[in-house]
Structure 1
Amino acid sequence: MKTILLPLFLFLITLSIHSQAPIPNFESTDGSEFLIVTSSSVDQSASGANLVWTFNDLNKDGTSIDSNRAPIDPDETSVYAGTTDVTVSVANMSSENKMLLKKDPVGGTQDVFFTGLLIEGLNLNYGIDNAFMGNFPMNFSDPIGTADVVDGTFQYIGAITVDGIIDNDDSKPEIDSPSTILANVDAHGTLTLNNACESGDDCDSSFNGAVTRLKVVQTLNLFVPAFNLYGTAAQTSYYYYDDSNGNLVFRTSRIVITSALLNDDITIMEVLTQSTLSNEEAQLAEASLTISENPVKDVLKLSLGNGATINAIAISDITGRQVLNKKTNATVLNVAALTSGIYIATITTDRGIASRKFVKK
C-alpha cells in the first residue's frame, strides 16, 4: 500500500507545482484602482514555470483608476478602425491614458487586437493593420505564436509635437525588419508585493499568491515625413494575473523611443489596491452623497451627511475625459465654464469614493 501512495502523493505535488490558471481577459476589471509605483529592483527578465517574484521595495508615486466601456467618441471607431472596447486609465485624477481594443468572438474564445494606444504623450494608431494580441483565454502551455506585422500612424507630444507613420516596409535601407507585436504567456509562479500605500490612504496593495504572466513586446519603425527621419519605438510590457480570480494585480510597461529627433524612455508600473475601509464606511460614503439642483446651472452643490469630509472633486464627461479636478473640502464647485451636457462627478471623501451623474445646463 505504501509503495502506491507515495508515488501518487508525489504525483499530486508535481501537479500542484506546475499548474497555472488561464488568463481569461486582457484588460483589468472595470473600476480597478491602482497605485502608480516606482522601484529600483524590479527584475522581470526570467521566464518559465514556477518562478518566484519578490518586489518588496515598491514606492507610491500616484494613483490611477481603470474604466472599461464601449466606444463613445466617434473618433474611437473612425480614427481607430475596428474598435469595440475602450479602457480609460485616469492617473492622479488628471492625466488620461487610453487603450483601444478590437474583440472578435471565435466560438467560446475571442481574438483581441490593439487598435490604438495613448500613453504618456505617445499616440499609436493601428487603424491600418490592427495589432493582434492573442486568443483569450491564454495559457502558459500555448505555443508561442509568430510576431504580428502592424501598420498605422503615430503622434508624439513632448517638447515638440511630431506626426509620423508606423512603417513596416523592410525593403527600405533604413528599416531592418517590419514593425511587429508579439504577445505570449511566458511565465507563471508566485508573486509577492509589498504594501506601497501610505499612512492614511485607506488601502492595501500588498499581494502574495500564484500568478500567470503575459508578456507583450512591440518593435516599431517610426518615420517622420516632415523631416525625412527614421527612428524606433520598443515597448515591453508585463501583466500579472491572479490565478485565483483572473484579476490583473501588477503591470509594467517600458517604452524606449530612439531617433535623431525624438529620444525618450518611459517606464510605468502599477499595482492593484484594495480598500481597507469597512463595508459600512463605503456604503455611508455612497449612500449619503446627493447633488442639489440637478440639472446644474453654474454651481455644483453637494450634500454629504454622516460627518464625512470632502477631499477632492473630479468631473469627467461621458467619454471618460476628465475636464475638471480640484482638491477641496468645499461642498460647492463652480462649473460655469463647462459646456452643456452630461457629466460624472467623482467625489473623494474620508469615508471612500462615490460618483454621481449630473446634467450641466
Structure 2
Amino acid sequence: MAPRGSVGVALAVAACALWLLPATASGALRVGFYQNSCPNAEALVRQAVAAAFAKDAGVAAGLIRLHFHDCFVRGCDASVLLTKNPGGGQTEREVGPNNPSLRGFDVIDAAKAAVERSCPRTVSCADIIAFAARDSVKLTGNVDYQVPAGRRDGRVSNGTEALDNLPPPTATAATLADMFANKFLTLDEMVVLSGAHSVGRSFCASFFNRVWTNNGTTPFVDAGLDPAYAARLRALCPREDTPATTPMDPDTPATLDNNYYKLLPQSKGLFFSDNQLRVNATMNALATRFAANEAEWKQRFVAAMVKMGHIEVQTGRCGEIRVDCNVVNPSSSSSSPEVVELPPGEGEEEEAVGVAVAAS
C-alpha cells in the first residue's frame, strides 16, 4: 500500500493535470479573487504600471505582449519570467521570439515587490502580469475591463516550447489560425488580438526579409508591402542585426486603436503575418469591419484578452505563489505540487467569468 503522503501527491498531480484544460470551461478564475486576502493588490500593480508608463510610454505595449507571450507557452503561469530552470536549459525569455524584444520585466518586479510588502506570498506573478496588461490597455486605449484572477505560478520555462508555440512574424494565415486554435482561440479572436500591433515597436529581424533579399544585398519588396513603406524600412535596417526599431503602427504608435486595420489595405502591415489577414476572406472581412468600427473592436479585444488569460491556468493547489517572479521558490520542485493553505474562500468556488467594459 502506498504511503498516505504519496497518495496525496498523486491525487494533487492528477487534479493539476485536469486544471490544465481550458479554464474557460471550468470557470476556475474569478473577478475579485484577492478581495479578502490582498484587497489592494490590483491598485499596487496599477501604481507600478503608471509610474513606469510616466517614464516610458512604450512599456505599456511591452506589458500587453508579455501577457500574450506568457499565456501561449505553458499557459498563463508566469513561466516567461523565469531566468533559470531547475532542470537546466534555456528559458522562454532567452530565446529568439522574446530576446531581446520582450520587455516589462522590471515593471512586474516592481509590482511584485510592492505586493509582497503588503501581502506576502499571496498574489501570483501570473496574476500580476494579467493585471499589468489590463492597466496597459487602459493607459494606451482608454478601455477598461475586469480581470478574473486566481492563477498560480508554474515551475518550468522551456525555450524550445516558446519557439514552438509563439506565432512568428512569418506565419501564414493557415498557421496563425492553427496556432490560435491550439490555444482554444477562434479565428475571429486571432484577428481581434492582432490589433494589439497598433502599439509597440519591432526590431529589424522581424521584417528584414520583406525588404531585402540575397542576404541583404538586393532591395526587395514583398508583394503585400507598399514600396514607399518598404524603402523607409530598408533605410532604417541596412542589416538584419541592425539594433534599430520601428513602430508597428507608424501613424498612431502610442495609441491602442483600430488604425492597425486601416493600414492593412494600404499594404502597410509591418509583418508578413499582418498582411495575411488580407489573404483569408474571413480574416479580411473582420479586419475591414474593425477598421470601420473602433468601439466594436475594443469591446471584442478586451473580451478576447480575458479569454486568453484563461489558457491552461494552474489554480487551487497547483503550481505555487513565487516570492521572486524570476525564480521558483527554493522548496519547490518540478515534480511535486506545493502544498499550501489557501486564503479563506479563495480557490474553492467556481464562478462564471464576466467582462465589464468601459470605453471612451
TM-score by length of 2: 0.23
Structure with the larger RCO, 1 or 2 (CA within 8 Å, 6+ apart): 2
**Larger CA Rg, structure 1 vs 2:** 1
